[in-house]
Structure 1
Amino acid sequence: FQGMNNQYVRREVFCRNTCDELKRFWEREIGKQTYYRESEEHRLGRSALGKLREEWKQKLETKLRLWNNSDETEKRANVGQELH
């Protein structure tokens, strides 16, 4: 540092300290956001809403399957009547 002007040395030290502080700040922010996201995912995982949605989805799929099967049975019956 002997041949350097004092203003440059101070700026380098200031930048190094500031960069470390900024890095720590953003690491803390990222850590907080990660914690909040994981907490929310955990909360939603325990929620009854997901289970209810899955139950309704299964009921609807069952009804659609029955409806499609009854439609096919009716079509077969109509084709059989037309042949006779």
Structure 2
Amino acid sequence: MNHQYTRREVFCGNTCHDLTRFWEREISKQMHRRQSEESRLGRSALRKLREEWRQKLESKLRLRNPDEAEKRQNPS
């Protein structure tokens, strides 16, 4: 077996620590971006708007066809 594979720390030196720090920073940046995006989506009004539109459409359907709307809500 080649010695360069068995004694990695000799060739690595400070470079390994630098690479480790670099990737730790990149991971923390990515986690921060993901958390910011999740927070932004949580504050978004899109879900509320979709629910309001769904309720409006259902009420319009009930007004047009009250029998069919009841069947959809109570499929027994």
Q: TM-score, normalised by structure 1?
A: 0.52
- CA RMSD, aligned part only? 2.9
Residue 51 (structure 1) aligned with residue 36 (structure 2): no
Structure 1 gap ranges (5+): 1-10, 74-84
TM-superposed deviation, 1:12: 3.6
Identity %: 68
TM-superposed deviation, 1:45: 1.0
**Counterpart in the other structure of 2:67:** 70
Aligned residues: 62
Q: Choose 1 or 2 for highest CA Rg.
A: 1
CA distance in 2, matches of 1:14, 1:72: 74
**Counterpart in the other structure of 1:24:** 21
Structure 2 gap ranges (5+): 1-7, 71-76
Q: TM-score, normalised by structure 2?
A: 0.56
Q: 1:33 aligns with which of 30, 35, 40?
A: 30
